[in-house]
Structure 1
Amino acid sequence: MTDEDPRRGLTLVLEAALSSAAGDYNVLTAARAAGVLTAQTGDQFFVALERLVERGRGAGVVRDDLVPDDLRRIMAMLVSVLWTMDPDEDGWKRYVALVLDGLSPAAATPLPHPAPALRRRTL
């Protein structure tokens, strides 16, 4: 079944991705150390995420000035939270909520120009 609420859909996808990363914390740590994780690793995920963001923009629940590279950097920030806490706890949900509030146009202030294009490198 498709969720008609783009914000809820975006929330579910971000939470599922972080939950999966938290569950595979040791595997991710090893893959990261081995240089296996690259910017291309999640390309399909980010294509799908961008479609959700576009739906959110159309519904007026995601700010218009978000660019695709922002999504990759936001996910990197969210995943980095996992390295700072017990991966068996869901403290990361707080940061997903904070990020989603920041993506909302309701209280948005103008952003600086987007950063240069994302460098493709091993994470």
Structure 2
Amino acid sequence: MTAQNTPLRERLRAALPTAMKARDRAAVAALRSALAAIDNAEAVDGSDVRAGAIETSPVGLGTAEVARRHLTESDITALVRTEIDDRLTAAKEYESRPGGADRAATLRAEAAALTTHLDQA
């Protein structure tokens, strides 16, 4: 599988150890945040869980498990684009604050790290 055919989530996961070894803090923060956003989007809404008597509870390994939501590649791409947009918006806000230039630069570096992986698609 070439880099272009590799799903975005796998590219992000593969890039994380590389960024950690390179001690690229901006890339590590951005990659962890994007992967967490993807995992959170797959989480099941627990609002339909009902409490009841223990004797009516399911018994056995995995009987109470619920499958996570399935995200398409376009869903994941949209989440990463949102992460990039959020960082760029925050960077603009930090620029207008006194002493916010460093934080703005960090946010732009994080956005750039994520954009690199989107551009591989």
Q: Tell me if both proteins adopt one fold, taking TM over 0.5 as the criterion.
A: no
Q: Give the TM bin, normalised by the shorter chain.
A: 0.3 to 0.5
Q: Give the TM-score normalised by structure 1.
A: 0.33
Q: Relative CO higher for 1 or 2, CA cutoff 8 Å, sep ≥ 6?
A: 1
**TM-score, scaled to structure 2:** 0.33
> Who wins on radius of gyration, i.e. which is larger?
2
